[in-house]
Amino acid sequence: MFRYSSSSVVTALLVLTVPVVAHSESLTVISFGGATKAAQEGAYFKPFEQSGAGKVVVGEYSGELSKVKAMVDVGQVSWDVVEVESPELLRGCEEGLFERLDPALIGDSNSYLPGAVSECGVASYVWSMVLAYNSNKVAAAPTSWADMWNLQQFPGKRGLRKGAKYTLEVALLADGVKQDDLYKVLGTKEGVDRAFHKLDQIKPSIQWWEAGAQPPQWLAAGDVVMSAAYNGRIAVAQKEGSKLAISWNGHLYDPDHWAIVRGSPNKALAERFIVFASQASGQKSFSTQIPYGPIRKDVLAQLPADTLAQLPTAQANLSEGQLVDATFWVDHGEELEERFNAWAAR
């Protein structure tokens, strides 16, 4: 919100100049692309431009902090707002890659899910890694991660994300570890060994994916019999007519966040964008375009029942899931990814 002198001269000048200044400003927002970016365009980017705040220049990346770090280190920052996963938000905040945010910017924190507002970011939506399958390609529906290891009942390839994060959790859940104990077990050498031993059992049958668009494509084509996948990607494929389905049992959910790159030349406009994208109207629009959960508590009650049923944060689905432990992956991610890469290359 702009605050100026009440002088009539200043007011007159503002009437003449504010629209010109607003439209001359440009904000670069970097997201993960794909179906999520399309929903962000409709819910946030275009409406923000139409509000007169400024032009939004949209780009995409794979979430790697190295690009952000390179900009900050040399002091040539061309990105303003970036979408980041929870571990990267924590890591980037610790390393001074993101601007500190005033939590008062978006109002009462009680209006948002726990953890949505943090030192360097504001959550944008809640996504989930789920077990997905093609109902036309299986004789019976898989109901848990353990079914991914059941090669006799479900012969064929199965898709997993090529990385330690989420994959090690899935392996331990498939091996019978309770959700409440998941990160306690994964935090031990024995637990890590147990996860890799479990992966050894189906390694020849794994088809590794690196892009979120791959699992629904592979499932629709019959290249894999089941796959770990982002719930929103599966929902988009369902809208397009694919007979894909989800088992919510043991899903791994986590928010993505908006963060401002330290040294952004448009910090004030970036803050305005984050405030804008945190309002109920935009959150509702986003979740109706792609079923990722809103971070505002009041939005859930505004969504139709068929949309609500597809959201990770709907109570029925949330009760079956496990929040990804971002702090764990900040503390152990580098070593576990190194071990995973070495294991996958063998």
CA atoms of 133 and 244, how far apart (whole Å) = 6
Q: 23 phi and psi, to 5 degrees?
A: -75, -15
Q: Which residue has the tokens 């007169």?
A: 52
Confidence of residue 106 (pLDDT cuts 50, 70, 90): confident
CATH T-level fold of 8-126+255-308: D-Maltodextrin-Binding Protein; domain 2 (3.40.190)
Mean pLDDT estimate for the chain: 91
- Predicted pLDDT of residue 162: 97
- Predicted pLDDT of residue 24: 53
CA atoms of 207 and 158, how far apart (whole Å) = 6
Average pLDDT over residues 229-241: 92
Four-residue CA torsion sign, 335, 336, 338, 343: positive
pLDDT tens-digit profile of 253-297? 999 999 999 999 999 999 999 999 999 999 999 999 999 999 999
> How do the domains of the chain map onto residue ranges?
8-126+255-308, 128-253+324-345
CATH T-level fold of 128-253+324-345: D-Maltodextrin-Binding Protein; domain 2 (3.40.190)
- Predicted pLDDT of residue 7: 36
Least confident of 45-49, 128-132, 232-236: 232-236
CA atoms of 336 and 343, how far apart (whole Å) = 10
Q: Are 344 and 274 in contact (CB under 8 A)?
A: no
Q: What is the b/e burial string over 29-63, where b = at least 16 CB atoms within 10 angstroms of the residue's CB? A: bbbbbbbbbebbeebbbebbeeeebbebeeeebeb
Confidence of residue 221 (pLDDT cuts 50, 70, 90): very high
Assess whether the region 8-126+255-308 and the region 128-253+324-345 belong to the same CATH fold: yes
- Predicted pLDDT of residue 231: 95
